[in-house]
Chains A and B, each alone.
Chain A
Amino acid sequence: MDRGKQDESGSARKIVCHQCDLLQRAGAVPRGGSLRCARCGAPLLRWVSHSLDRPVALALTAVVTFLIANIFPVMTLEFQALRMDATMVASVWQLHAQGETLVGVLVLVTAVVAPAALILLLLWLLLPLRFGFRAPAFAPLFRLLMSLSDWAMVEVLMLGVVVALVKLGHMATASAGIGMWAYGVTMLLLTSLSSSLQGDVIWSHHEDVMSRRKPHDPERAEVAEVLP
């Protein structure tokens, strides 16, 4: 069974639409394309390369850019001789100091914890697979990754920084910091990783690697024909 991938033989496999429960046969996914449900139109399968090099490289890059994004301020405000920076973690701390701890928790989870967990968990699952073995706690961490994926809101934060910059623009010198650009790059990396963040794609990589690792099956071994 080969799900979510180009199937050279084009053999139809059964899949269930997660949005309307229609049981259907999925043919080969066109290269670079995707399959939609025949009834409700929900996206079912996307074409994904068998290679793990690309998602692993993108995720490793995202680790670096996300670190930069959280070390440097996303924005800076200068007013006469005064200067105020905002890193995301400092902003959360500031909310806590102003008595809005719950808002701080919401911002921390959606802008820092969930994106970081998404990147690290994906790397935890895919990097060992790239080298032919299965990471410890593969299934539980996969489930954690799936439950977190809705809560990472990096792209919304980017727009939030833009709005904040404009709001302050007319009263002081507000500028985007290195952190914001690094957040921007992280957002682009997460977007290009979005197909690798699909559950069925992760498991088809897993299946690829595990089936390659299986000991040679004597039943299926080709035996040289003995000549008379």
Chain B
Amino acid sequence: MSASIGKSEDVAAQFPPHSAAHLGLTGCHACGQIVAVGEHHHCPQCGSAVHLRKPESLSRCWAFLLTSVVLYIPANLLPIMQTTSLGDTQSNTIMSGIILLWTTGSADLALIVFIASMVVPLGKLLALVVLLYSVQRRPLGSPRQLARLYRLVELVGKWSMLDVYVVTLLATVVRFDAFMSVHASSGALAFGGVVVMTMLAAQAFDPRLIWDALEERGQKQPEGAG
């Protein structure tokens, strides 16, 4: 390497020997181009900002994660829609909507909605906590397992939008004035917020930290990293 990146060599030395960061290199997150981070702040090919690791990955991930945990409460307690039928108004939360689907004979669909609206958001929150804990304290699985968990979180994230779309469509077609109508309510906003915040949290998390932590522990004492 040329002497021009001398300043970044100290930084680079902190990274494990097999990583690109150890050589002061990174793969551009947008176009894959290998970039010497000491010489460039932006990818010479596509112009994206380049960093050895996502800046402030852990604190940004925690911030989005905690926001989604807070939003998760109203998302499940507040009604996501209100059905008015002949003057009689019924409020439906996520869970009561699932139970209604189940009791009206669509058990298979109730299961799909249950997975998309209950299992996926809660699973995502737990998975992100597992990933953050593994990087910051003690790994709760092999790095390969954690990497697979991260890919799963990225893959399933958007499916929780299901109920938001359902409410939107119902509120649009069921508008027969006093006879029967469906209104979206504020639970839908909180729920949509959970989906967006968990997606942002997953984007903020840098999966390369899983492998950095592994190498760190390999060189130092076990239980050492904090």
Contacts and interface: CB of A to CB of B under 8 A. Distances in A.
A106 B211 contact: no
Contacts of A42: 147, 151
B38 to A, nearest CB: 15
B109 A163 contact: yes
B46 A139 contact: yes
Contacts of A167: 100-101, 106, 166, 170
B171 A20 contact: no
A4 to B, nearest CB: 7
Contact of B208 (A14, A21, A102, A174): A21
A168 interface: yes
Interface in A9-52: 14-23, 39-42
Interface in B162-201: 162-176, 179-180, 183-186, 188-189, 192, 196, 199
Given A100-B188, A156-B165, A142 B46 contact: yes
Chain B interface, DSSP helix/strand/loop, else mixed: helix
The number of chain B residues touching the other chain, given as a range, is 35 or more
A142 B47 CA distance: 9
A100 B189 contact: yes
A166 B192 contact: no
Interface in A134-168: 139-140, 142-143, 146, 150, 153, 156-157, 159-164, 166-168
B25 A16 contact: yes
A23 B166 contact: no
Given A3-B32, A159-B112, A41 B144 contact: yes
Interface of B: 15, 18-21, 23, 25-34, 45-48, 100-101, 104-106, 109, 112-113, 116, 143-144, 147-148, 150-151, 158-159, 161-176, 179-180, 183-186, 188-189, 192, 196, 199, 203, 207-208, 210-212
Interface of A: 3-4, 14-23, 39-42, 74-77, 79, 82, 84-86, 90-92, 94-95, 98, 100, 102-104, 106-107, 110-111, 139-140, 142-143, 146, 150, 153, 156-157, 159-164, 166-168, 170-171, 174, 199-200, 202-203
Given A100-B184, A160-B169, 5 more contacts: A19-B150, A164-B166, A164-B173, A168-B170, A200-B31
